[in-house]
Amino acid sequence: MPHWRGDLEEIKRILLLAGYDTGVSLGSDGLELADIKRLPEAALNVVLIPELGHEIASYLEMELGQKYLLLTWPYGFNNTLQWLQHIGEAIDWPPQLEELKNEISLAEKDIFDECFLLKHNFLDYSLQRIIMTTPYSIADSLRQAIENSGYDIISAQEYYIKTDESEIIDEKRNYHIWNENISIDKLKADNYQLLLGTERERIGLGDLDRTIYLNFSMPSSKIKSKNIFFAGIRGWQNFMYMFKEQLNTLEYIKYQNQ
């Protein structure tokens, strides 16, 4: 994912505030042999992308006797707290959540105010669908964050995922399967779609004037920033801020074209 560096920094931050030290982060920049030698010190291994890390975690459990959790990225405020609680249960050490809950409380108030303004200003707005082209575990974590957020402004009527036959999809989640070879219904009047994918997919989908887009799949620029990320508490604030700014822009363009 293009913003994994910022995601990882935020995850380390919330873990530290919850009372947990982070050891080795496999796949992170600057990893050296001395870091690898510290692997046996871990009380628990957390797998953020099961499609990539499950096999390694299973090997470490077999070789070192280390427990592991398949938790994927913590998106959204409620999901982040639940994510930390799962870790606490696994090591029998409850997380310290007071400071994090205070931070969430302040952020939620601001987001609620902004969502209220959007609903008031754009009465005809409706989010028809969300299309996610990330690995399934990340897509489903994002959907849970959206559905648990309580923000009507990001609640969608339909969810589409781009997947291949090797991924196991929970049929109870009622996902629509999408790829470049499958046509998708035209958007209804005044409806929008949210694409969590790539710039190329954005162009291929069409309806650019009614597509809110966040890059969740491939780097689209050589310019990198740790300030653009979506995991954890600050990441969810970024998600909502970028969503709001794009919706505002698209609505202003529509108004000017009338």
214-240 pLDDT tens trace: 998 766 566 666 678 999 999 999 999
Q: Show Cβ contacts of residue 101 under 8 Å, excluding neighbours closer than 6 positions.
A: 81
Predicted TM-score of the model (pTM): 0.91
Residue 139's φ and ψ, nearest 5 degrees, are: -60, -45
pLDDT at 216: 87
- Please determine, for residue 37, whether its predicted confidence score (pLDDT) is greater than 90: no
Strands, DSSP E only, in the chain? Answer: 45-47, 68-70, 126-132, 158-161, 176-177, 191-197, 211-215
Low-confidence winner among 17-21, 54-58, 87-91 (lowest mean pLDDT): 54-58
Strands, DSSP E only, in 78-140? Answer: 126-132
Q: What is the pLDDT of residues 170-217, one digit of tens each?
A: 677 889 988 878 888 889 988 999 999 998 899 988 899 999 999 987
Partners of residue 211 on adjacent β-strands: 193
| Exposure on the CB side of residue 25, measured as CA atoms within 13 A | 15
